[in-house]
A and B are shown apart, each in its own frame.
Chain A
Amino acid sequence: MAIDTTAWSRRRILKTGAALGTGLAVPHVFVRNAWSQNNQFCNNPTGGNVVLGFNVPQSGPYADEGADELRAFKLAVQHLNGEGDGGLMKTLKPSSLKGNGVLGKKVTFVTGDTQTKSDAARASAKRMIEADKAIMISGGSSSGVAVAVQSLCQDMGVIFMAGLTHSNDTTGKDKRRYGFRHFFNAYMSGQALGPVLGEEYGKDRKAYHLTADYTWGWTQEESIKNATEALGWQTVQAVRTPLGAGDFSQYLTPVLNSGADVLILNHYGGDMVNSLRQAVTQFDMKSKQVNGKDFQIVVPLFSELMAQGAGDAVKGILGTANWDWKLDNEASKVLAKSFGEAYGSPPSQAAQTCYVQTLLYANAVETAGTFYPPEVIKALEGFEFDGMGNGPTLYRAEDHQCFKDCLVVRGKENPTNQFDLMEIVKVVPRDQVTYDPSIFGGELGPADVKGCAA
């Protein structure tokens, strides 16, 4: 270091050049090796096992739902492998399931934490696909996450069986060829709930909306608005509230003086629990009279877990649900029994949709006779089935949305136990909630993608 040369010596140029060249060559070596055994599609299972990836929120606001979804996935895997009592394997019609795994391969699974964040969910799904070689991804407890993971799965050529996601976008403007949703959506909630609201509360009502300020909340608000205005209701005002506000009193204060006699809470999860409790206990809205009518509160999307959180506030409140364990059909009873014996509590609607999605995927693979995704997609598209707890159900080919009966539920006045918080008011038939797939736009994209490229 005696002489500090500022110019580049020939020696240094040669050395740097060599290092740079080696560095640049490295990728090609790895890329060649990484994909040289590329099969015709992503993660074609070659051994005696097939891997499914269950991507659920294990931390964050929807952790309770995620835990219940995971329980359902584990149960479904047991049943597919011929363990346990078989659950809905026996009731699904038409069924190609054999109870010896899928195509004779034993089903194993990997799990991941979405943290209810798109980034974390996509990273977790990528790990399942790249490192664990998962052939199918399922789960999700929020529409943002579901849409994000669904588009990732489209790029990677891996089928995504959505869990709990209620936004119209999942099978609307953001639908994908590789994504399938069994759960219902905000539009169906509106169609189901509208007539019941008319019967219960009359045609001459004024509604005040509080809406979670993001895409799901907006589609929900729009759907309910359309349905109620068709009845002859007026919408006094629709106020957007920030997600996770915690304290909703500043949004609830103007409601009673606005001339509205119905409050519609387009909230979910913790927000719904907080806003409903405050409306009922702090503002005592349920005992008020406005315009000579009893003041009413409506929560369009209900779930058992939220009802547990809201406690007494939920009594008498109307809403919709995808499924309920108390439904009077054989499959629901079988699933409730099977789940209850395994875990000591009845399955939530999130658990049911995840369980059913897993079985439907396995059934489609058996029907197609191959794991090759385009064939599996063909088997799922337009699949008409029964015996999964929702009555006759159609997986519509145009948007990969399931169409089935929809439930209108009410918080029970006198619950007998902590799992008996809701009563079914009406089972709205499938025809009434079916809509034209073109109203939401979007395109499914190709079935044949260069797998694993993403």
Chain B
Amino acid sequence: MSQSVMTSQENPGEGMGESPAESHAPRGDGMRGFLASSRSDWLLVAVFAAAILTMPIWLAPIGAGYPDILQKFAIFGIFALGFNILFGFSGYLSFGHAAFLGAGSYAAVWMFKLLSMNALIALAFAIVVGGVFALLIGFVSLRRSGIYFSILTLAFAQMSYNLAYSVLTPITNGETGLQVTISDPRVLDAMFGGVARRGVPELFGMELQGWPGFYFSAVLLILAFFLTLRIRNSTFGLMLFAIKSNQNRMNYTGFATRPYLLAAFVISGMYAGLAGGLLAVTDPLAGADRMQWTASGEVVLMTILGGVGTLLGPVIGAAVMKYLEQIFSSFNEGVLHRTFDFLPTGLQDFMVAITSPFVGEGWQLTLGLLFMIVVIFLPGGIMEGVRRIASRFRSGRGGASPTPAPAGGGH
């Protein structure tokens, strides 16, 4: 833990490539600081965008080159990015972020039902609902810190889950989940003579399913990534890092920390709302199990797996986790036999016998092992592994290269 605090403490000053004076610019000057980015930041965003948009090509060989899983990579990437603003930057571990994800989904589906199938309206409303929800829960939960804060958020999320599952069934349609039907009113679509389509979310006529759905999510992920980068480099981000390293010192120097924390909480709630809304856009259904505590735990795992406090880590962690859940769970013995086809029969059976507990229904075992390995050997997550390899590579070549590694995120 201390190590990750250390690295993230170094982050804001070093990763920016901006003069320290600008980082501490008064808040009235915030707009200028917001738009000005250093060259390495632009490079990072450009490389990130290219990598995300070409995922269908370079992920195809490992069986992840189909739209649904790539949509999930992008959407849960956004979710984890937002979570990281709270957990990674300020050190406040929320165990209830799934509540905002679920609230965003319900909000988006209700927009599809009542107003229009246009995804932008639904997403805007999902973000607002996620934010308002976060404001309410955050206002109460942030009166405590540490484990008490985590438990409070967990309690609120479980409460939301149970409400959505049964009590609020008229709004959430309970266990079955809220769905879009052809007979919904859709006031705006009706007003502007929108043709009654099949109940598929669209962006000005383009149906956001399959590949278009992925590229829509991917563009939003890139925007979210850029925004996170800007937040990290801003004065506000610096405040969050300061809170993480020593909140008491902040208080003694006269800073009121809670407004900053509440802002971070609301922002990450809005990210979660956006992710939840996107889930509904690419698949117009909202179910209560999106709010379950397991979903809240998932985003914590994603962030830790990828690297707490880093920029790229949460996105990578989300992708790894969704990949395990989707692909590993689908491997059955037939697939394994085909994989080890090149081996002689006896050895093939042996390999299948060894690997089969870790795939199919055993995918969670693999996830658990991976998580343990990462936490024990790479406390800074996958990003720490990347950084170690990069630094070894650089020192191996002799003179240290001055250009910062773009993939480093937290450098």
Contacts and interface: CB of A to CB of B under 8 A. Distances in A.
A113 interface: yes
A454 interface: yes
Given A34-B211, A118-B287, A452-B210, A6 B35 contact: yes
A34 B165 contact: no
Interface string B206-223: 010111100100010000
A31 B72 CA distance: 18
A130 B39 contact: no
Q: How large is the interface on B (under 10, 10 to 19, 20 to 34, 35 or more residues)?
A: 35 or more
B287 A119 contact: yes
A174 B182 contact: no
Contacts of A174: 176, 179
Contacts of A240: 166
Of the listed residues A119, A122, A445, A452, the one surrounded by the most CB atoms of chain B closer than 10 A to its CB is A119
A128 B18 CA distance: 48
B49 interface: yes
A450 B209 CA distance: 12
Contact of A119 (B19, B290, B334): B290
Interface in A103-134: 108, 110-113, 117-120, 122-124, 126-128, 130-132
Interface in A150-193: 151-152, 155, 167, 169, 174
A59 B18 CA distance: 50
Interface in B19-60: 19, 22, 32, 35-36, 38-39, 46, 49, 53-54, 56
Given A34-B210, A214-B166, A63 B329 contact: no
Contacts of A112: 329-330
A127 B289 contact: no
B406 interface: no
A350 to B, nearest CB: 16
Of the listed residues B35, B173, B176, B198, the one surrounded by the most CB atoms of chain A closer than 10 A to its CB is B176
Given A58-B361, A123-B72, A242 B330 contact: no
Of the listed residues A122, A148, A167, the one surrounded by the most CB atoms of chain B closer than 10 A to its CB is A148
A439 interface: no
Interface stretch (A19-27, A81-89, A223-231, A389-397): A19-27
Interface string A422-436: 000000000000000
A214 B177 CA distance: 11
A143 interface: yes
A137 B69 CA distance: 18
A200 interface: no
A447 interface: no
B382 interface: no
Interface in B244-276: none
B366 interface: no
Given A58-B360, A453-B207, A169 B176 contact: yes
B349 interface: no
A1 B38 contact: yes
A6 B332 CA distance: 57
B210 A111 contact: no
Contact of B219 (A23, A111, A148): A23
Contact of B175 (A119, A122, A152, A214): A214
A213 interface: yes
A178 B173 CA distance: 22
A169 B17 CA distance: 59
Contacts of A148: 176-177, 285, 287
B329 A26 contact: no
B162 A130 contact: no
Contacts of B53: 23, 26
B340 interface: no
Contact of A111 (B46, B207, B332): B332
A152 B284 CA distance: 9
Contacts of B63: 131
Contact of A147 (B49, B65, B177): B177
A31 B63 CA distance: 18
A217 to B, nearest CB: 9
Contacts of A119: 279, 287, 289-290
A111 B360 contact: yes
Given A30-B211, A119-B287, A148-B285, A213 B68 contact: no
A449 interface: yes
A243 interface: yes
Contact of B285 (A30, A108, A118, A130): A118
A370 B353 CA distance: 39
Interface of B: 17-19, 22, 32, 35-36, 38-39, 46, 49, 53-54, 56, 63, 65-69, 72, 162, 165-166, 169, 173-177, 179, 182, 198, 200, 207, 209-212, 215, 219, 279, 283, 285, 287, 289-290, 292, 325-327, 329-330, 332, 334, 360-361, 363-364
Interface of A: 1, 4, 6, 19, 23, 26-27, 30-31, 34, 58-59, 63, 108, 110-113, 117-120, 122-124, 126-128, 130-132, 143-144, 147-148, 151-152, 155, 167, 169, 174, 213-216, 240, 242-243, 443, 445, 449-450, 452-454
24 contacts: A31-B211, A34-B210, A63-B361, A111-B360, A113-B329, A117-B289, A119-B287, A119-B290, A123-B68, A124-B326, A126-B68, A127-B68, A130-B67, A130-B210, A131-B69, A132-B330, A144-B175, A147-B176, A147-B177, A151-B179, A155-B200, A214-B166, A242-B166, A453-B210
Given A118-B287, A119-B287, 10 more contacts: A34-B210, A108-B334, A111-B330, A111-B332, A111-B360, A112-B330, A127-B330, A131-B69, A148-B177, A445-B182
